[in-house]
Amino acid sequence: MTSTRNATADGFELTFGVNVLAYHLLLNLLRDRFANPARIVVVGSDVHFGTWRYGLGAIPAPEWDDVATIAAPRDGGVRAGRRAYATSKLGVVYLVHALRRRLPEGVDVYTYNPGFVPGTGLIRDADPVSRSVVAAVGRLLRATPIATGAAKAGRLMAATLTGPRPGDSGAYIDRGRAIPSSAESYDRAREEELWEVADRLCGLTSADGRRSVG
C-alpha cells in the first residue's frame, strides 16, 4: 500500500490486517481440525531481513512496535506503507514461531518465502509510473536469483506443502530451502506479545483473557 492510512472493514491497518491478523484468525479457527500428519504454510517475504539485498533500496527495514500500534491505521505516505509491508512480514515469522509452540506433534508450520515475484500486482496501489518502473525492473531481474516467476513460485510453494518435510516445524523456507530467518525474527517476547494481542484484536479472547476459540 502507498500509505498506512488504509483500514480493513474492522478498522485495522490494511497491510497488517491482511498479512498477519487474517492468518492468525483463520489458523486459530481451524486449529482443532489439524491432525497428525498436517502441514501449514504461511507466506512471508525476505524483506523482513531489512537489508538492501532483499529490499533493493525500495523497501525500508521493518520497524517493530507494540502490536496495537502496528495494527492501527496512522498517518504516513509511500515510504511508511512500504515499511509497514516489511514489518508485517516480520510479524509473519513471529506468528509462525508462536504457532509452532502451540501445535501438537506431527502438525508442522512453516514460513514460505517466494522471493520477489514480478507480475503479480503486488504494487497495484502505486501510481502508474511506479508500476511501470517496477514492471521493467522485474523483467530484468527474472534472469537473476533475486526474482522468481509466478509459476515457479507456485511450484515451490506446492512442494513445501506436499513434498518431503522441508525442515523442522517453524522453519523459514526460502524457495524450497530451509534457512535461518533474520536475527531480529528470533524474539520470543515479541512472538508471545503478538500472539496475545492478535488473540484480543481478532476476538479470540475476551478483555479478561478468557479464550473463546480453541
Q: Where do the domains of the chain lie, and which CATH numbers do they carry? A: 14-201 (3.40.50)
Question: Looking at the predicted structure, is the pLDDT value of residue 171 above 80?
Answer: yes
Question: Looking at the predicted structure, is the pLDDT value of residue 10 above 60?
Answer: yes
Considering only CA atoms, which of 162, 62, 184, 187 is closest in space to residue 112?
162
pLDDT band (50, 70, 90) for residue 1: confident
pLDDT in tens, 26-71: 999 999 999 999 999 999 999 999 998 887 778 899 999 999 999 9
Question: Looking at the predicted structure, is the pLDDT value of residue 18 above 80?
Answer: yes
Question: Looking at the predicted structure, is the pLDDT value of residue 212 above 90?
Answer: no
| Matching residue, cell 509497514 | 84
Q: What is the mean pLDDT of residues 115-133?
A: 77
Strand 38-43 versus strand 107-113 pairing type? parallel
Question: Looking at the predicted structure, is the pLDDT value of residue 14 above 90?
Answer: yes
The Cβ-side half-sphere exposure at 167, using a 13 Å CA radius, reads 18
- Which amino acid, residue 89? K
pLDDT in tens, 132-155: 776 777 676 666 777 788 899 999
Question: Looking at the predicted structure, is the pLDDT value of residue 130 above 90?
Answer: no
What is this structure's pTM? 0.91
- Compute the 3-state secondary structure of the chain and give helix, strand, coil in percent, each to the nearest 5: 45, 10, 40
Question: Looking at the predicted structure, is the pLDDT value of residue 169 above 90?
Answer: yes
Instruction: Put residue 104 in one of left, alpha, beta given phi > 0 → left and psi -120 to 50 → alpha.
Output: beta
